[in-house]
Amino acid sequence: IAASLHEVGGNANEDRARLQDMASDLREAFFLVAIIGEFNAGKSTFINALLGEPLLPMGVTPTTEAIELVRYGAQAIRVPTLRGDSSTREWVHPNTGAPGVALVDTPGTGSVFQRHETTAKGFLHRSDLVIFVVNAKRALAEAERIYLDLAKQYGKKIILVVNQIDLLEPTERVTVRRFVEQQVKQTLDLSPLIFLVSAKEALNGGDGGIGAVKAHLRGVFA
């Protein structure tokens, strides 16, 4: 199908590229979990919390300029290898959730690097599940609504994670959850599962709400 679309030209070339990507993922038996969000939402920290160690680089500035792909493997490989045109760095870790599951840290939306947003949008179509990470202090900025709408258009299963709740008082957490629920329902007609977490606390030895996320993902992967 992808080969025949090459003859059509025009916008069909985008569909052709997507089909080729999907065929490649099927050959490699990936279940892709894409982690999307603005650069300061703590996506890399969230993935590290799922893995149980600080594997991916973290920082207060946009640190992810390429796709960070963490494949499942019985033994961790903590030095990444470059794939394809060097836009993807590949890691291996036993805590991705299950054999065959790959976690994908995408460049942050709304970052100072325009190429980040282009890369993140281009990767959405390949995912089997989208985990959208938002900052508890500024949940659902306009750029985030755009990306959520795009994921919805692609027909992706979406989970919302409100990160950095350690910065909020208990009463504020209730308010933020209610606000996020209302906004995604009113503006996008979505009712995704919402988890409130502190990935930082989880990496420092606590649970930080990550346990509930892991439990849900185990059910998805089963």
Mean pLDDT computed over 46-63 = 84
Residue 15: closest CA among 25, 27, 5: 5
Residues 20, 22, 27, 33, CA torsion sign: positive
| pLDDT for 146 | 79
Which range (23-27, 68-72, 167-171, 200-204) has the least confidence? Answer: 23-27
Q: How far apart are the first and last CA of the chain?
A: 31
CA pair distance 44, 183, nearest whole angstrom: 25
Is residue 64 pLDDT above 70, yes or no?
A: no
DSSP, residue by residue, 196-218: E--HHHHHTTS-TTHHHHHHHHH
Rank 22-26, 42-46, 64-68 by mean pLDDT and report only the highest: 42-46
Question: Please, which pLDDT band fits residue 113 given cuts at 50, 70 and 90?
Answer: very low
Encoded tokens for 68: 């960070």
Residue 93: closest CA among 32, 48, 36: 48
Kindly report, residue by residue over 130-163, the tens digit of the pLDDT.
999 999 998 787 777 877 888 888 888 999 999 9
